Amino acid sequence: MIEKTIDFRYYSSIRIGGIKTIKIAQNVNEAIELSKTHTIIGRANNTLISPNAKNLFCLGDEFDYIHDNGDYIEIGAKSNNRKVFLYFKEKNLGGIEFLGSLPGSIGGTIKMNAGMKEYEIKDSIISVCINDDWIESSKINFTYRHSNIDGIITAVRFKKRNGFMSNLELLFKEMRKNQPREPSLGSCFKNPKEIPAGKLLDMVNLKGFRIGDMSFSKKHANFLVNLGNGSFDDAIELINIAQNTIYKKYKINLEPEIIIIKGE
């Protein structure tokens, strides 16, 4: 096991988290052992990390691979979504076209059941290696931006479906044009059944609302954006204000889509 110093102000997509020395698991046994006391981080594109957070770990380069095994493609959990997207595109394989517009690692993407529009990662996979056991995807409970995976994802087997869909790639690129460019974690809250979270935030005048350098974006209210030197505490305060205001006015519980790792 090795250690690495990471500056999360550059590593995480929302540019928050401070500088930390974290452990790197170099094989499955180390990953399982570390997971008993530490929290795994993928590419931190969906995780708001306190500068006081401790005991984090990442997977090492041994988990960054793409293998064509004939009937399926096996991909290490550390692999970058964009790299996987480019591989599928080059091989004319379909099903994961949205990964070109979705930042993250394959491990984090499976854990979150990430996706765009009606496309979700769960639909393209055969099985997931969790704590060294291959589990069929049908045995995993995947719901909207959530899975019940309770262990370390080390690799994933993807279906081999012929026909990369360039029209989908363009559709997802187009969707991104309407979203803020500032550092964020994507959508901050899950959409309640009743009404989209962005609309609710707009209805209570929180679109563009700012504390310090953190703000609900003027372009898309459900994106919590860092306008410069945004802090973890300001982000949490905004999340609390949004949840309290919307509950008071509409009796709707806004559930964060992002993962929050607090300090001890």
Binding site for ligand FAD (CB under 6 A): 13, 39-47, 59, 77, 102-105, 107-109, 111-112, 114-116, 145, 152-153, 184-186, 259
At position 245, the amino acid (one-letter code) is: T
Residue 243 CB neighbours (<10 A): 16
Nearest CB to ligand FAD, comparing residues 8 and 245? 8
Signed CA dihedral, 263, 106, 100, 194: sign only:
negative
Catalytic residue chosen out of the listed positions 15, 43, 145, 157: 145
Please give the biggest Cα pair distance in the chain.
55
Nearest CB to ligand FAD, comparing residues 84 and 112? 112
Catalytic residue chosen out of the listed positions 97, 120, 182, 257: 257
Smallest gap from residue 9 Cβ to ligand FAD (A): 15
Yes or no: say if 87 and 99 are a contact pair by the CB < 8 Å rule: no
Q: Is 161 a catalytic residue?
A: no
Q: Is 90 a catalytic residue?
A: no
Which runs of consecutive H residues, i.e. helices, occur in 22-142?
28-35, 81-90, 106-111
Nearest CB to ligand FAD, comparing residues 89 and 122? 122
Smallest gap from residue 247 Cβ to ligand FAD (A): 24
Catalytic residue chosen out of the listed positions 184, 187, 215, 217: 187
Token code pair at residue 90: 């080059």
Nearest CB to ligand FAD, comparing residues 53 and 77? 77
What does the buried/exposed string (b/e) look like for 62-91 if buried means 16 or more CB atoms within 10 Å of the residue's CB?
bbbebeeeeebbbbbbbbbbeebbebbbee
Smallest gap from residue 45 Cβ to ligand FAD (A): 3
Cβ within 8 Å of residue 259, ≥6 positions away: 46, 47, 48
Smallest gap from residue 251 Cβ to ligand FAD (A): 27
Nearest CB to ligand FAD, comparing residues 71 and 150? 150
3-class SS of residue 227 = coil
Smallest gap from residue 252 Cβ to ligand FAD (A): 21
Nearest CB to ligand FAD, comparing residues 95 and 103? 103
Question: Tokens 């929302």 — which residue?
Answer: 14
Q: Is 257 a catalytic residue?
A: yes
| Cα-only R_g, the chain | 19
- Alpha-carbon distance of 259 to 49, in angstroms, equals 8
- Alpha-carbon distance of 155 to 48, in angstroms, equals 24
Just list the catalytic residues.
145, 187, 257
